[in-house]
Amino acid sequence: MSLFTTAGPSLLVPLGALGLVFGSFVTALSYRLPRGESITRGRSRCPACGHVLTIPDLVPVLSWVVQGGACRHCRAKVSWRYPAIEAVTMALFIAAGLSVDDLTHLVLLLAMTPAMVALAVIDLEYQRLPNSLSILLAALALAWRWQGDGDILAGLTAAAAVGVVGVLLDVGFRKLAGRPGLGMGDTKPFALAGLALPLGAFLLFLTIAGVLGVIYGRVWRWRLRISHFPYAPAILAAFWLCLVAGEPLLQRLVSLRIG
Ligand SMILES: [Zn+2]
């Protein structure tokens, strides 16, 4: 039984609001972190006119809609990506509340979700995965495992195995094809999943990540006609899905095989 069924729909509104607030934090984080700006210090400014943004500019989604997607002061265009990030984070928070039963797991997931969205956004824009976010996620992934089957050693072993496979693939590709294969950065989200997910859910994750990756890669090639694309958003999506629904999905698969 999920918390949603016990606490009722009343949980939905505060979770959605919390998702919007964290989504707004993600937009600031994904802008400032790759630029080496402080996350805690300094107020947000319009990148075009430098105006310090105040509350009317910073209401998640609503400010963007009301102001017609432009800065209130200089009318410079504000990318649709900001309200999109806020809306996606809100949707993920609500989905988490609907799916995760255990309160500790829910709290951990609500901490992991903004970091995962930020990582995906930064990878899309800069093709890199900042270590600070990866380390934070690794700590949260271990806490998730601790609260789950408690097998921290298995988590660390899976993450190390991912690292070894990543290095071997990279070396192999360089030798055979003369180019890097899966970037070493892309092994990070795989290792994170290895830390958090028990073996069955991890195998399910690898399958979903593979399928999503192929679809995602085809879309990238078709839209932009490039062969090298940031892969982490697809892996992170598969990881998030397996965090919220890995175990029930596995149980359903097993019951299908038995039945
Ligand atoms: Zn402006």
Question: Where do the H-state alpha helices sit in the chain?
Answer: 3-7, 12-32, 55-58, 62-66, 81-99, 103-126, 131-147, 152-177, 184-196, 199-224, 232-258
Number of domains in the chain: 2
- What angle in degrees, to the nearest 10, is found between the helix axes of 103-126 and 232-258? 140
Instruction: Look at residue 118 and tell me if it is in a domain.
Output: no
Residue 66 to residue 258: CA distance in whole angstroms: 54
Residue listed under structure tokens 């093709």? 127
For residues 198 and 256, state if they share a domain: yes
- Full pLDDT tens readout for the chain, 259 residues: 555 555 567 788 899 999 999 999 999 999 889 888 887 777 888 889 999 988 888 888 999 999 999 999 999 999 999 999 999 999 999 999 988 888 999 999 999 999 999 999 999 988 889 999 999 999 999 999 999 999 999 999 999 999 999 888 888 888 887 766 666 778 999 999 999 999 999 999 999 999 998 898 888 878 776 666 788 999 999 999 999 998 888 888 888 877 6
For ligand 1, the distance from its centroid to the CA atom of residue 179, given in whole angstroms, is 43
For ligand 1, the distance from its centroid to the CA atom of residue 82, given in whole angstroms, is 15
List 52's β-bridge partners, or say none.
45
Which residues lie near ion ligand 1 (Cβ < 5 Å)?
Answer: 46, 48-49, 71, 73-74, 76
Q: Please answer whether residues 110 and 18 qualify as being in contact, where contact means their C-beta atoms are separated by less than 8 angstroms.
A: yes
For residues 228 and 136, state if they share a domain: yes
Q: Which two tokens stand for residue 130?
A: 């900042």
For residues 73 and 185, state if they share a domain: no
Residue 97 to residue 107: CA distance in whole angstroms: 10
Residue 10 to residue 38: CA distance in whole angstroms: 36
Surface-to-core class of residue 13, CB atoms within 10 Å of its CB (0-12 exposed, 13-18 middle, 19+ buried): exposed
Instruction: Look at residue 123 and tell me if it is in a domain.
Output: no
Domain region containing 181: 130-259
Residue 235 to residue 207: CA distance in whole angstroms: 10
For residues 210 and 161, state if they share a domain: yes
For residues 173 and 253, state if they share a domain: yes
Query: What pLDDT shows up at residue 181?
Result: 62
